[in-house]
Every structure is written in structure tokens, then in C-alpha cells.
Amino acid sequence: MLKFVFRNHYTALQLDGASGKLLLIERRNADMIEDIHDGSILDNIFGTSAEPFKLIYASIMGLALLLFTITGFWLWYGPKLMKKQLKSKTRKR
């Protein structure tokens, strides 16, 4: 069995290696979902070869993950810290 995957669209062909008979024509939805997920679908639409959209998208998503981690930690730890400070103030009185 031979499998051909096209670069410019999400189609694949499967051929019998011995007879050359066409076995299957399929739409590769997993590749499309992967391109949407990593941002390279914009590079495919605009025809850019250096993948600037993918790089920008990945950078923004990485920074967003870092920001969400920091703010999530603060939202978890902030009330604990405030509660601890409130307890120490009430003990001093």
C-alpha cells in the first residue's frame, strides 16, 4: 500500500503497490484540526513559507499560558494570604 498526502489541501490517496489500483481517497480532517490548533492554517491561507503566523500564534499562546498560571496562582494564594493577615491583626487586639 502506498499513501500520498497532498501539501496544499487535506486529501490523501491510497494505492495498491502491486497493481497501482486506487484503494481510497480520504479527507484528512486530523491534519486540518492540527493546523487550526497550531495556527498554521493562516500560513496556508496566505501562502507564507516562513510560517510567521504560526510563530506569532505560538508565542501569544505561550505568553497567555504563563500569564494564566501566574494569575491563577495569585487567585489561589491571595485569599489565603489575606486570611492569614486578618487573623494576625485580630490576635494583636
What is the span of the domain harbouring residue 29? Answer: 1-37
16-37 per-position pLDDT tens digit: 999 999 999 999 999 889 888 8
User: Is residue 12 domain-shared with residue 43, that is, in the same domain?
Assistant: no
Q: How far, in Å, CA of 33 to CA of 41, rounded?
A: 9
The pTM score is: 0.61
Query: Which DSSP letter does residue 19 get?
Result: T
Ranges in the chain, pLDDT < 50: none
The mean predicted confidence, pLDDT, of the chain is 90
User: Is residue 58 domain-shared with residue 92, that is, in the same domain?
Assistant: yes
What are the contacts of 5-9 at 24+ separation with CB within 8 A? Answer: 5/31, 8/44
**Taking a C-beta distance cutoff of 8 angstroms, is the pair 10, 29 a contact?**
yes
User: Is residue 2 domain-shared with residue 31, that is, in the same domain?
Assistant: yes
**Taking a C-beta distance cutoff of 8 angstroms, is the pair 23, 1 a contact?**
yes
User: Is residue 22 domain-shared with residue 43, that is, in the same domain?
Assistant: no
